[in-house]
Chains A and B, each alone.
Chain A
Amino acid sequence: NAGVTQTPKFQVLKTGQSMTLQCAQDMNHEYMSWYRQDPGMGLRLIHYSVGAGITDQGEVPNGYNVSRSTTEDFPLRLLSAAPSQTSVYFCASRRTGTGYNSPLHFGNGTRLTVT
């Protein structure tokens, strides 16, 4: 299994531009999520999904959209990039089920710079 695959690895945007960060997993995980990582602030949840067609907001959702049309894919869209969105973005997935504890599996990250 490839696990969680993110593309691109690096991206530079100008303020106001839009783009989509791609995330795919081949582990048949129902739960997928997006985090951003900023120095000294740990990992903050942007959006998450517990299955195809179901998404919800995390801690810092403003400026980002998501959709979940398939179990495998969970893209993150920046509609109008701002310098405050400069960060490292991680996609993560895990198994779910009542009473089942399971860890998050992370992708390799996307380093985004907005100028």
Chain B
Amino acid sequence: GENVEQHPSTLSVQEGDSAVIKCTYSDSASNYFPWYKQELGKRPQLIIDIRSNVGEKKDQRIAVTLNKTAKHFSLHITETQPEDSAVYFCAASETTDSWGKFQFGAGTQVVVTP
């Protein structure tokens, strides 16, 4: 089955700096890679996703890159703000059929200090 590794487990950045979280996956059939943000005591919420036919996607200060050959994908947050402090999860899924399951990374605790 799919295995997703996520690094680092914790990330401390100064406000205004960039943050990068990296994930690797094992199943070459995986074709969909969402990223979730979870604030303390809240549910995970989708912030950005990328499909296997795309190498990069941006949404304002957030971007995701995908390297299918190396089987890794990364989340980039630019100009970090205190409200970016949260736990971020990457996930990989093979969703060609309706049985596609999501495998999550262990999460990255991001702390943005003013």
Contact across chains for B98 and A40 when beta carbons are under 8 A apart: no
Residues of A within 8 A of B32 (CB): 101
Q: A103-B34, A106-B43, A108-B43 are in contact. Are A58 and B101 (CB under 8 A)?
A: yes
Q: A40-B9, A106-B44, A106-B45 are in contact. Are A98 and B96 (CB under 8 A)?
A: yes
Residues of B within 8 A of A102 (CB): 95
Residues of B within 8 A of A56 (CB): 99
User: Does chain A have a CB within 8 A of B89?
Assistant: yes
Contact across chains for B95 and A41 when beta carbons are under 8 A apart: no
User: Does chain B have a CB within 8 A of A42?
Assistant: yes
A41, A98, A106: the one contacting B98 at CB < 8 Å is A98
Q: A90-B43, A90-B44, A103-B49 are in contact. Are A42 and B96 (CB under 8 A)?
A: no
Contact across chains for A43 and B44 when beta carbons are under 8 A apart: yes
Cβ proximity bits A34-78 to B, threshold 8 Å, 1 near / 0 not? 010000111111001011000010100000000000000000000
User: Does chain A have a CB within 8 A of B106?
Assistant: yes
Cβ proximity bits B80-103 to A, threshold 8 Å, 1 near / 0 not? 000000000101010111111111
Contact across chains for B107 and A100 when beta carbons are under 8 A apart: no
Contact across chains for A43 and B98 when beta carbons are under 8 A apart: no
B43, B49, B91, B99: the one contacting A50 at CB < 8 Å is B99
Q: What are 8 residue pairs bridging A and B, where the CB atoms are less than 8 Å apart in the complex?
A: A42-B6, A43-B89, A48-B101, A51-B98, A100-B95, A103-B49, A104-B46, A108-B43
